[in-house]
Structure 1
């Protein structure tokens, strides 16, 4: 019992979500994640909110995008059938965006077409825009499958019917004729009935009754090409439209005959009760206008027609019944009854927004109700003006949309021609461009080489100027040292020698104590003499030693930097190497590199110690600047201007640069560059480098 109860519960549970209960003995697997399941759940469920349904549709879109993107239009149509306007608009926009991105033109066009169908009554201008978009998509497709080859003609027909609804009958006639031409071109005869039928309705709106009859007779000849399940409906539609034209034309006897024949159609009441009710009312009115006086029969017919319309919930069509009934009562000289029926018809027309019937009811009341005819005439005039303004506004919007669409088409065609022209011109210009590029590149290369040569010469001159100034300073130091040496030797040392001699003479005294003191003084003077001589010799030797100008410049740079930081800076270099043999271009760039490295260490690394090392070999020199600071991520592509300057200067001396930095462990910059010697007696070497190598 428990198992049976559980199975029953599961069946009801699944039915609540729109699923049929499964036979538990069937050996098959039910899919749990498919487009059909999400769409069925979203369509059939009555308990889900709009946002929940949108989530289900989004799941279906994602699956369709992955598995079958060319069927996205099915999702748009499924959203339309839910009757939820918010959901439909949201899903349609998403389908349009996705299908356009994926290049699914059929889904893209059908989504616009579905939106047009949704907007055609409430927002005809929006409907027209989406129809134009859909027509543009399908008419520009290179190939249309047989199943969708009729789409451009069908959309043109929809555009014509939309214009007919806003009483732009001339515009409707143009689009419908274009649709007929298209259907004839693609040999789609089964759609020519509805097209000629619409053309006849448009002619009826223009009051061209004979032309309208001609087109409806033409439409009748194409019923035989329609699908079998549509033929009966098309026959009824055709006969009713022809009868209505005779009614409007004023040929009431012919209208009565046609309506009577249509009323006698087999099972018309059962198969199409709405049409039967309209035919009954129209046949009665045509009979009255033909001169018949069967007022009791008229009363029964109008009552019966209204009862049928009430049974199917068609309030809209009842306005016409009451207007016809009012005219019959007026013909019977029952003015009060006629006014009463006309007012009911007017109220129904207002309630159902049946503006055509509202206008005709107001017009009828101006003749029936003499007391209030001025008010009805005013209402008729105001409504006419209001409707005409709205119709003109919508027609203007249609014209703007059409103009913008035509402009886009013309622009696309012009762009296509321009593209062909540009392709030919581009081919010619390409050949010319290659030649010009080679010539210009060669000139730029030559100019760049000249500029590099000038830059190197300038750097050499700058460094030589620095050497000259520094040499003058050192020459001054050397002169001063020599002067001091001479003063010590010739002045102080001579005087000291005299004192020693005098003191030696005093030793002849017999005083033992004096002799002891003098001996001590003589010993001290000898020591002082030796010390002064030693200092003099050291100063004189230092004055004539060769001065290493480049390393002195580096040392002075380090001393200057030390004054601005608490970090300890140490310099280590190969003292046996003659650094002044480097040419000026190399020295000025190395000097600037060391300067930039020290600045970077002080500004950014937060280090406590900095090591600057110069090492030499036979053909290559090596510079290393290392600190124990915070480091940085050297793998990042973005570089600061300081590092960019260093890279630029390394290139200028044909060197190679390696930067090794570890966060929180410091940074080490290693530069290796070739030796370019210079004659110290002639410090302006001939620059022979042709290019700067990239590293």
Structure 2
């Protein structure tokens, strides 16, 4: 649930940036999808910000639907007694009513509410925004007084910002160092657990050798049990290390550089604005990819659809993924473990293709022959030199998983003729 919340908040914030950069249509494409999500409706902490951001995007387009979403956000904040959130809601409604001369009184009413609550909490930026609206919706001396208060508060805020700016560079540096250390410690702890497990297994093997006379049957069963435990630990270690590396190498650096770029560059410039948008789009896609690659697999009636979607996600302008015969496989008769292994094996092959094969066409076919499921994978990439072919990492995981199903797997690695894999396992 926390992962879902984090991803939704990142998407919501990305959409908010699109609105600030005067691209409300892009913002709405993200926000309206999030607004329909069941996870959103159950979580007020994300539901209210999404409603407010939809209202802001519609306001950019002069669309009257913005009022419905502003009122929705206000209702949620009131139910949750979220005072800080109410400050924003009042400000948004003031902005909406300010655009129509017939509703100036309502604009002033909500601006005054925003100012009152912001003053109680001591939040300066929100007070400035409210004072600005109050100065334009009031008349005579009252308007002049609000304007004087605005300039006085703004001058004091400028001094504070200058002091904070000097501290921000150190905070940002400390944050990046701490993040790197945390990732390093997490990997070291996982390696320590794996080494401890390996040491225990070595002791157990020596013990088994000492009592070999008891019988080959008992020895074989015990050995297989220990072997499976080690493989589970190894796979868990590989997965956790991969996720840590993705977060550190791909996402953390991109977020850090994007923060630095946004802080130091003039975003009014069209070129800088385009660079920022591209960086945000890249962070958004990588976040969703990491979430998808490591999320739980639905093995229920929707499994076939999710499997198709996973394979189709690897299609792009450079690679065409063709899927044939998947409807012939009776997934309803296959147990959950085999479904999960099928999903992960195909995902691993496609990830390997994307990283190494340089292919433009990938074909994946499914057949049920007797009581066995047959899967054929092939691509037109560069292939692998048979003299240098060694199973490791992802491909080793593929072979181990199929063997654990009492299945078989064959690799065709002819150089220059693509990469082919034949997989078979019992229903």
User: Normalization by structure 2: what TM-score?
Assistant: 0.36
Larger relative contact order (Cα-Cα within 8 Å, sequence gap ≥ 6): 2
